[in-house]
Amino acid sequence: DFTEMMRALGYPRLISMENFHTPNFMLVSEVLLWLVKRYEPQTDIPPDVETEQDRVFFIKAVAQFMATKAHVKLNTKKLYQADGYAVKELLKITSVLYGAMNTKGVERADLSEEDSSKFKFDLGSKIADLKAVRQLASEITSKGATLYDLLGKEVELREARTESIARPLEINEAEKMMKVAIDCVLGEVQKTKDMLNNVALDEANLEAKIEKRKLELERSQKRLQTLQSVRPAFMDEYEKIEEQLQKQYNIYIEKFRNLTYMEQLLDDHRRTEQEMFEETANMLHLMQSRLKEEEQHLLKSGNNDDSDVEIQEDERSDSEVEDRQIMKHRAAPETLLQG
């Protein structure tokens, strides 16, 4: 498995298990250095393994790096032996890298499938995700700002932290704090136990309340059905009064229409009467002006008595005709008014 994993990871040399039958520290150091560079190319681990001290320092540096970065715990003694036991330790690192490579390949396959169908989803179903993304982005910015402020205070707090770490720990105070913490934890545990014991009681109370509400709902529904089915006693009288009101309303509408029509006729009659009065007044004014002109003409003419008599007769005849016309004009509006 180790050789296959190294071949899959792209190790340039061919490795077989026969190389590890005897201690081969050069090959182990080369493989360790290659794996570390593969995990993080920017690592600075010295490759010198000529002396014993250099080998010990190299093994410690690799073990510390893998423990801090990859959280992989290596046995330095087995690695220093550089035999078959060292292969087991190397297998821990190769399995991590091989698993990461396999997951990356699966993700690429998934991405290729997603690329083939990335435009086949509906944007309407992603509105909630967009809102969540916006909220998370705002939270990230706020948390980043607070983190930046806290990191700015790191210089001041570093000295206090180092002082507190360097201060010797008193056993009595530590015991007191541990006892207080244990008491707090025990109190919380007791509270949770009490709450768990009260869950059954709360459940029974809730079930009783639900049954009570169901009974009240059934009663109200039955009452509603009875009220809908029963006819009130005053409905007959109400319907009769409603019919009478409808009849009275129809009579009122008819009378109101007749009244408006009569008012319109009266207005028309008054308008025509006013026009006739104005016409008679104009005619009288014309007749008066004509009589004045004739009188002036007679006075200027200076004719004899016979002619005066004739003129008087003519005037009488003319005045009689005019009087008759005036009487006719006066009688016309009186007849209209009587009508």
What's the CA gap between 177 and 245, in Å, rounded?
91
Residue-averaged pLDDT of the chain: 79
What's the whole-number mean pLDDT along residues 229-235?
78
Residue 227 has pLDDT above 70, yes or no: yes
Q: Which residues contact 50 (CB under 8 A, 6 or more apart)?
A: none
DSSP class of 41: T
Burial of 86 (0-12, 13-18, 19+ CB in 10 A): buried
- Give the CATH class of 1-102: mainly alpha
Of the pLDDT bands very low, low, confident and very high (cuts 50, 70, 90), residue 318 is: low
Asked whether 101 and 9 are in contact (CB, 8 A), the reply is yes
For the full predicted model, state whether its pTM sits above 0.75.
no
pLDDT reported for residue 34: 87
**Above pLDDT 70, what percent of the chain?**
82
pLDDT digits (tens, 9 = 90+) for 86-102: 888 888 888 888 887 77
Q: How many CB atoms lie within 10 A of CB 35?
A: 20
What's the CA gap between 334 and 306, in Å, rounded?
41
Residue 165 has pLDDT above 80, yes or no: no
Q: Count Cβ neighbours within 10 Å for each residue of 297-335 and write b for 16 or more, e otherwise.
A: ebeeeeeeeeeeeebeeebeeeeeebeeeeeebeeebee
pLDDT reported for residue 4: 81
Of the pLDDT bands very low, low, confident and very high (cuts 50, 70, 90), residue 105 is: low
pLDDT reported for residue 265: 95
Closest by CA to 223, choosing from 212, 233, 215, 234, is 215
pLDDT digits (tens, 9 = 90+) for 34-71: 888 888 878 778 778 888 888 888 888 888 888 888 78
What's the CA gap between 20 and 7, in Å, rounded?
17
Flag the least confident range among 29-38, 109-118, 152-161, 294-303.
Answer: 109-118
Q: Where are the domains of the chain?
A: 1-102, 170-230, 251-298
